[in-house]
């Protein structure tokens, strides 16, 4: 199941409960050291030089415990007891261009600003521009607030122990945390704090999901998605959304588009049925879900398309996903009788919905999600970006850790919107909207990770081909 995102005091209570159960700190440190070594191997190759930075506390013990599990690497351990005395040792090690630095200088117990000598030491590590693996927390970062104590290690990957800490999912912490991963199964007792507003998505959450299809199933069994997308100059968004929807494998997909873009979109589709948008359409009964918005950004779109979207959003019992250009068409109203409703804004679109700035959205993303959901009838909100959030005005908010910065390409969100809608068109995926949305977002990021493991210059068309393929 997903992990609770906890505070530092909760982590301390968890540790103390573990020691009270009879398990020892030394036992947990051995487990953590093995996990750190596993992560270090994934970030390096045989015979690479790894520099281990170990402080006085248990974070340093975790790093020291990793050393014996790195036999195929050239490893140097630097026990840092004094930043002034050990600075020249750091300089000498950095001159050898380490492929990886493992940061175990300070842990979550740091509760005061770093002095000038420590700031100089930490800054020198950052200036090396080496790949950095931080153990539990980047040294110098406040794990509750997400703010640095004067300076903090800028990690490439942070391997936190047990569960994510609250400060690590704040946008102020992102430049230091990098990619956040969790070392579970390290000898701690089961987490005693399962109730949490924020929850960290795990790949294990999707074991057996989506369910296996019945052998007797056919295209009529697996739903019919309607996509309303594409306008002059933005036809590619409609194509990518349709490709993403296809990877979810609903039974049928119909794409309705503006007359000006019909031919260029239809020429790129085979299995997707492409139709020209007709005025004053009624709510068809043979669809099982709708996606509206990708590529609907041209200024001369028909007004009845906007009215249709508002009526569909308000009245339909079917799942409706609204993205991109159509986000500003839906009105603020109660949806007491409506089916599943999903909107997928990035921070800029969220700011327009809230009539604020992207900076204020990012400053408190969970609150922004709550407010956007509340003003749109308690709908599901997928607030995109680093550590995408999935949630509503009340209840749990899920935080996604898959994905990487190469998702920052035009069309990425169109693929995600299509994939979400393609899943929700299928009856079995409508039974648990939260799980379906989390799965879609996780698959989107995991597909990007899989592509990045193969090459660094992949494009969004490849993402559309890979999404849904990660096990």
| The pLDDT of residue 278 | 83
Question: What would the 3-class secondary structure string for 381-440 be?
Answer: EEECCCCCEEECCCCCEEECCCCCHHHCCCCHHHHHHHHHHHHHCCHHHHCCHHHHHHHH
The DSSP-derived string for 171-216 is GGGHHHH-EEEEE--SSPPPPS----SEEE--GGGGTT-SPPPPTT
- Give the per-residue pLDDT at 194: 84
| The predicted structure's pLDDT at residue 233 | 87
Instruction: Out of 2.60.40.10, 3.40.1190.20, 3.90.1150.10, 3.40.50.300, select the CATH number for domain 224-466.
Output: 3.40.1190.20
* Domain edges within the chain: 3-196, 224-466
CATH number of 3-196: 3.40.50.10260
Instruction: Give the per-residue pLDDT at 299.
Output: 80
Dist. CA 342–CA 418, nearest whole Å: 12
- From first to last of its 471 residues, the chain has per-residue pLDDT tens of 789 999 999 999 999 999 999 999 999 999 999 999 999 999 999 999 999 999 998 999 999 999 999 999 999 999 999 999 999 999 999 999 999 999 999 999 888 999 999 999 999 999 999 999 999 999 999 999 999 999 999 999 999 999 999 999 999 999 999 999 999 999 999 999 888 999 999 999 999 899 888 888 888 889 999 999 998 889 999 999 999 999 999 999 999 998 889 999 999 999 999 999 887 566 566 899 999 999 998 788 888 888 889 988 988 899 999 999 899 898 777 666 678 999 999 999 999 999 999 999 999 999 999 999 999 999 999 999 999 999 999 999 999 999 999 999 999 999 999 999 999 999 999 999 999 999 999 999 999 999 999 999 999 999 999 999 998
Q: pTM for the whole thing? A: 0.94
CA distance 456 to 470: 18
pLDDT of amino acid 286: 86
pLDDT value at position 285?
65
* Amino acid 282: pLDDT: 61
Question: What is the predicted pLDDT for the residue at 303?
Answer: 85
């Amino acid at each position: 199941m997903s992990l609770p995102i906890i505070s530092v005091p909760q982590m301390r209570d968890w540790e103390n409960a573990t020691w009270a159960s009879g398990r020892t700190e030394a036992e947990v440190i051995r487990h953590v050291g093995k996990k750190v070594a596993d992560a270090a191997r994934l970030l390096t190759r045989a015979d690479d030089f790894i520099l281990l930075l170990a402080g006085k506390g248990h974070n340093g013990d975790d790093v020291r415990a990793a050393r014996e599990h790195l036999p195929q690497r050239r490893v140097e351990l630097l026990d840092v007891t004094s930043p002034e005395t050990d600075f020249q040792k750091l300089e000498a090690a950095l001159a050898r261009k380490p492929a990886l630095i493992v940061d175990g200088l300070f842990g979550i117990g740091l509760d005061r600003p770093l002095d000038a000598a420590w700031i100089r030491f930490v800054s020198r590590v950052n200036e090396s521009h080496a790949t950095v693996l931080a153990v539990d927390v980047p040294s110098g970062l406040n794990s509750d607030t997400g703010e640095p104590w004067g300076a903090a290690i800028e990690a490439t990957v942070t391997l936190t122990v047990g569960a994510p800490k609250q400060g690590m999912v704040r946008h102020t912490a992102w430049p230091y945390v990098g990619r956040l991963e969790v070392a579970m199964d390290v000898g701690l007792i089961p987490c005693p704090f399962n109730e949490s507003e924020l929850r960290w998505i795990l790949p294990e959450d999707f074991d057996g999901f989506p369910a296996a299809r019945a052998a007797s199933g056919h295209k009529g069994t697996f739903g019919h998605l309607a996509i309303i997308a594409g306008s002059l100059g933005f036809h590619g968004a409609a194509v990518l959304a349709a490709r993403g929807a296809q990877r979810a494998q609903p039974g049928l997909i119909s794409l309705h588009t503006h007359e000006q873009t019909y031919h260029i979109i239809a020429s790129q589709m085979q299995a997707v049925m492409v139709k020209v948008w007709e005025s004053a359409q009624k709510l068809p009964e043979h669809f099982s879900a709708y996606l509206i918005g990708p590529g609907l950004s041209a200024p001369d779109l028909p007004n009845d398309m906007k009215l249709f979207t508002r009526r569909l959003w308000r009245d339909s019992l079917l799942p409706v996903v609204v993205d991109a250009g159509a986000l500003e068409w839906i009105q603020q109203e109660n949806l007491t009788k409506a089916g599943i409703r999903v909107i997928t804004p990035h921070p800029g679109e969220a700011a327009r919905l809230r009539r604020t700035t992207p900076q204020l959205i990012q400053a408190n993303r969970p609150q922004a999600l709550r407010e956007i959901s509340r003003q749109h009838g308690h709908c599901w909100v997928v607030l995109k970006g680093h550590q995408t959030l999935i949630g509503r005005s009340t209840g749990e908010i899920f935080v996604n850790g898959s994905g990487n910065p190469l998702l920052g390409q035009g069309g990425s969100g169109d693929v995600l919107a299509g994939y979400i809608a393609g899943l929700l068109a299928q009856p079995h995926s409508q039974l648990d909207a939260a799980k379906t949305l989390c799965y879609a977002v996780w698959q989107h990021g995991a597909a990007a990770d899989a592509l990045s493991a193969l090459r660094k210059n992949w494009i969004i068309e490849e993402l559309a081909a890979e999404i849904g393929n990660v096990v």
